[in-house]
C-alpha cells in the first residue's frame, strides 16, 4: 500500500481517524507521518506492509532487472501492479514471482518456512513431518523425566512415522 500523501513510499503508519463524525483509515509512510503532530506520540511504528520498499532491493541489493510487463501465467497479475499494491493475484503468483518475493519475506517475516497449522486434507508429507517433530519433542521430555517406558513407546511410533516419511522420498533433518 502506498503512502496517501506522497504516493512515493510504502505506507507503514496506519490509523483510524474520526473527523467530523466520519470514520476513515489513513495510511502514510514514516517520513510523511513524522510531519503530522498527531503521530508524534505513536511513531516509530513497526513496519507492516514493507513489500514495495524492499522489492527494488532484491537479493543481495542487486538492482531490479525483471521487466514490469512480466505477467503471472495463471492469473495475469503483472509485476508492476504487484509492486505497486503489494498484493498477489493467485497461488501461482507465489511461484512466478518467487525470486522477488523471497527476499521480501525474509525481511518482513521471521522465517520463510511455515511451522503452524496444516489443513488435514492437504496434509500428507507435511502433516507427517509435523507429527514427527512433535513426537521428538515428547521423546525428549520423556527421557528428561526418566519416563523410560513411555520413551520406548514413542521411539517405536517415531520409527514407523520416519519410515513412511522416507517412503515419500523425503529427507528427514
Partner 1 sequence: MSWIEEKGPDRDVVLSSRIRLARNIAGYPFPTMMKDSDAREILDVVKRCFSVSTPFSGRRYSVTHIKDLPMVDRQVLVEKHLASIDLMQHSDVAALIMDDRQRVTIMVNEEDHIRMQCILPGFQLDKAWEMLDRVDDTIEAEVEYSFDDRLGYLTTCPTNVGTGLRASVMMHLPALTVSKQIGAVLQTISKIGLTARGLYGEGSEALGNIYQISNQITLGPSEQDIINNLTVACQRIFEKERMAQQAMLKVSGKQFEDVLWRALGTLTHARVMEIKEFMALMSQLRLGVGLSIIPGLTAENVNELMILGQSGVLNKRAGRELDDADLNVYRAETIRNRLNEILQA
Q: Which residues bind partner 1 (CB under 8 A)?
A: 14-25, 37-38, 40-51, 74-77, 85-91, 93-94, 101, 104-105, 108-122, 125-126
Choosing among Zn ion, partner 1, none, which partner's interface includes residue 137 (Cβ < 5 to 8 Å by kind)? Answer: none
Choosing among partner 1, Zn ion, none, which partner's interface includes residue 65 (Cβ < 5 to 8 Å by kind)? Answer: none
Measured from the CB of residue 11, what is the shortest distance to partner 1 in angstroms? 12
Measured from the CB of residue 50, what is the shortest distance to Zn ion in angstroms? 14
Using the minimum distance from each CB to partner 1, give the nearer residue, 47 or 143. 47
Measured from the CB of residue 72, what is the shortest distance to partner 1 in angstroms? 8
C-alpha–C-alpha distance, residues 123 and 129, integer Å: 10
Q: Which pairing describes strands 13-19 and 22-28: parallel, antiparallel, or unpaired?
A: antiparallel
Residue 80, number of CB atoms within 10 A of its CB:
14
Using the minimum distance from each CB to partner 1, give the nearer residue, 108 or 141. 108
Dihedral class, residue 171 (left if φ above 0, else alpha if ψ from -120 to 50, else beta): beta
Residue 12, number of CB atoms within 10 A of its CB:
22
Residue 82, number of CB atoms within 10 A of its CB:
24
Choosing among Zn ion, partner 1, none, which partner's interface includes residue 121 (Cβ < 5 to 8 Å by kind)? Answer: partner 1
**Bond prior to 44 in cis (omega within 30° of 0):** yes
Contact of 93 with 77, CB cutoff 8 Å: yes
Residue 32, number of CB atoms within 10 A of its CB:
19
Using the minimum distance from each CB to partner 1, give the nearer residue, 97 or 151. 97
Choosing among Zn ion, partner 1, none, which partner's interface includes residue 5 (Cβ < 5 to 8 Å by kind)? Answer: Zn ion
To which H or E segment does residue 26 belong?
Answer: strand 22-28
Positions in the binding site for Zn ion (CB under 5 A): 3, 5-6, 9, 29, 32, 72, 74-75, 77, 89-90, 92-93
Measured from the CB of residue 171, what is the shortest distance to partner 1 in angstroms? 14
Amino acid at each position: 500500500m502506498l503512502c496517501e500523501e506522497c504516493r512515493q513510499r510504502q505506507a507503514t503508519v496506519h490509523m483510524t481517524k474520526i473527523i467530523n463524525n466520519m470514520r476513515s483509515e489513513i495510511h502514510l509512510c514514516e517520513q510523511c507521518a513524522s510531519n503530522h503532530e498527531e503521530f508524534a506520540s505513536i511513531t516509530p511504528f513497526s513496519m507492516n506492509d514493507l513489500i514495495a520498499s524492499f522489492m527494488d532491493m532484491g537479493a543481495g541489493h542487486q538492482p531490479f532487472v525483471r521487466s514490469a510487463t512480466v505477467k503471472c501465467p495463471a492469473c495475469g497479475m503483472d509485476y508492476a501492479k504487484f509492486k505497486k499494491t503489494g498484493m498477489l493475484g493467485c497461488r501461482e503468483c507465489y511461484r512466478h514471482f518467487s525470486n522477488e518475493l523471497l527476499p521480501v519475506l525474509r525481511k518482513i517475516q521471521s522465517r520463510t518456512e511455515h511451522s503452524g497449522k496444516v489443513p488435514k486434507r492437504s496434509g500428507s508429507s507435511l502433516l507427517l513431518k509435523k507429527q514427527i517433530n512433535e513426537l521428538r519433542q515428547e521423546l525428549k521430555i520423556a527421557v528428561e523425566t526418566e519416563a523410560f517406558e513411555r520413551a520406548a513407546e514413542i521411539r517405536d511410533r517415531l520409527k514407523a512415522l520416519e519410515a513412511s516419511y522416507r517412503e515419500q522420498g523425503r529427507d528427514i533433518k
